[in-house]
Amino acid sequence: MKYLIIGLMMLCSLMQTGYAQSRAKILLIPLDDRPPCLQFPETAGRIAGYDLVSPPREWLGRYTRAGDPDKIIEWMEKQDLSGYDALIISADMLAYGGLVASREHRVSGKVAARRLSVLHRLRNRYPDVPVYLNSVIMRLAPTATAENEAYRRQLQAWAEQPDPGKKPDGRVPSKVIGDYVKSRKRNNRINRKALELVEDGVVDYLILSQDDAHPSGMHIREREALKQRVHDKRLEQKVHIQPGADEIGMVLLARYLSGKSEQPVRVDVLYSSAEDSKTVMPFEDKPLDGVVEDYIATCGGQKAATSGTEDLLLMVYTSRGKEAETRIFTETLKARVRKGYKVILADIDPKGNVQGGSRILGEYLVHENILDKLYAYASWNTSGNTLGTAIAQGYIYRYAETTGNTVAQGNEAQRWFLWHRWSNDFLYNNIIRKQLLPKLDTSLHWSSVMTAPKVRALETEGVKHMHDYIEKLQRETGTYIPITKLQLLLPWNRLFEAYVDYTLQPE
């Protein structure tokens, strides 16, 4: 029933933006069924006039229930891909059944590799359709479940050691340790297999993305070996190794569209804090400015040689709790937007304890009537998630502008996506999630899985809180917020992520 509801909600979203029939199609095999992996790229595609087509949602799995790669592969082979402009594919969905499934040893390396062979067959059948692939470098922490609550952190701490020698804390069962190590080895072999697909000309572009990282740990050796292979095979123009996971589908969409332009997008970058730009953000393993450069490149652009020569201006805000830096940043943001700069705004949580938009900045965007005038905006979870989503949206909208798609559906889709980032990234992730969290047992947190009745109750209460907040903010600022008929679902029966939908009123 939840899948049916989400499907109907997405159909209504298509209708409300005046989007009747797309001009072109891209086949999308997402990392899993969560909104960032499926809803975000599907709705972002509408900005550029593309229909992203995916397999039936029930085959994509749900949280700890793996997707069905064999059904997905059968479905892919039945498609007439001559009518598609590109393929954007998650190797983790094809090989294991999704991101969570990739962290467990339920699929052998032999089976995983066999499943990826479908890409050879499709390439032979449709040699002119480009293939964009993502394969994830496994994170250190296991997926949070009730079963591993007693030892999950001990296993992660062990895996974070530069060279894990001794076995982890005695609370970690030996079978769990064995399966964890087997999963890492299998996934590393599949990542090498993905590189072979690039070498063989089956895949046109590959992102090997590091899920939730740490400056030290088992992943470092795996990643460095992959980098060396890329160098040895001279694949640097076709393979990029960087942070990320959930947002990579959108990044690959931006990469494909950017590649259709004669010149790469030039991006200038302005940070709210020079110190933070050199700091490693939570869940990353390199300084922030390095992560920014990764996403500028993988989305298909380059840093502008000098300020004033850019196509887009990326403004990165990390100064929460720093009044002077925040004042300077917000004043600069308003001035640049009013002067006509094409601004991408990335609002990053520098401590990782909110993983949603800054309240000061979120309300400022409404009060100063700036949100609608941005090229892109994001503020969810990690710095990589935020940057990948914001930079990709900015590139996609620029492509739409240069191809004339903004005259009708593209503009409405752009407005919808901007307000979706505000309602999802800022309003839900920062304001509403904190209001709902006390409704859980004290032993639970926002990643805890809840019973179906509890989920239904919190979805209903969450929508009410969202409406109340919007009405209150409108009264206080005198600014109209064009969001009506809000809907909220918790697709994985936890508070961490939400499926937000609404009707956007015309300008």
Nearest to 409 by CA among 8, 13, 9: 13
For residue 227, count other CB atoms closer than 10 A to its CB.
Answer: 14
In sequence order, the 6+-apart residues with CB closer than 8 A to the CB of 86 are: 26, 27, 129, 130, 131, 132, 256
pLDDT value of residue 16: 47
Question: H helices of 133-273, where?
Answer: 152-159, 174-199, 218-232, 248-258
Task: Please say whether the beta carbons of 51 and 45 come within 8 A.
Answer: yes
The second-level CATH assignment, the architecture, of 24-260 is: 3-Layer(aba) Sandwich (3.40)
User: CA angle at residue 22 from 87 to 91, to 5 degrees?
Assistant: 20
pTM confidence score: 0.93
Instruction: Give residue 2's pLDDT.
Output: 54
Mean pLDDT of each 10-residue bin along the chain, 507 residues long: 52 46 84 98 95 97 96 98 97 98 96 98 98 97 86 90 75 91 97 98 98 88 96 97 96 97 94 98 95 98 94 98 97 98 98 93 96 97 97 96 72 95 98 93 78 96 97 94 96 95 92
* CATH architecture entry for 262-407: 3-Layer(aba) Sandwich (3.40)
Per-residue pLDDT, 261: 87
* pLDDT tens-digit series, residues 129-174: 999 999 999 999 999 888 888 898 899 989 988 776 677 777 899 9
* Phi then psi dihedrals of residue 154, to 5 deg: -70, -40
The domains of the chain are located at 1-18+434-507, 24-260, 262-407
SS3 letters across 338-366:
HCCCCEEEEECCCCCCCCCCCHHHHHHHH
Task: Supply the DSSP symbol for 467.
Answer: H
CA distances from 185 to 31, 102, 240 (A): 20, 11, 21
User: How confident is the model at residue 252, as a pLDDT?
Assistant: 98
Residues 6+ apart with CB under 8 A from 222: 137, 184, 188, 191
pLDDT confidence of residue 404: 74
Domains 24-260 and 262-407 share a fold: yes
- Residue 147's pLDDT is 85
What per-residue confidence (pLDDT) applies to 441? Answer: 78
Greatest distance between any 2 Cα atoms in the chain: 63
8 A C-beta contact, residue 11 and residue 42: no
**What is residue 6's predicted lDDT score, i.e. its pLDDT?**
57
pLDDT in tens, 342-373: 999 999 999 998 899 999 999 999 999 999 99
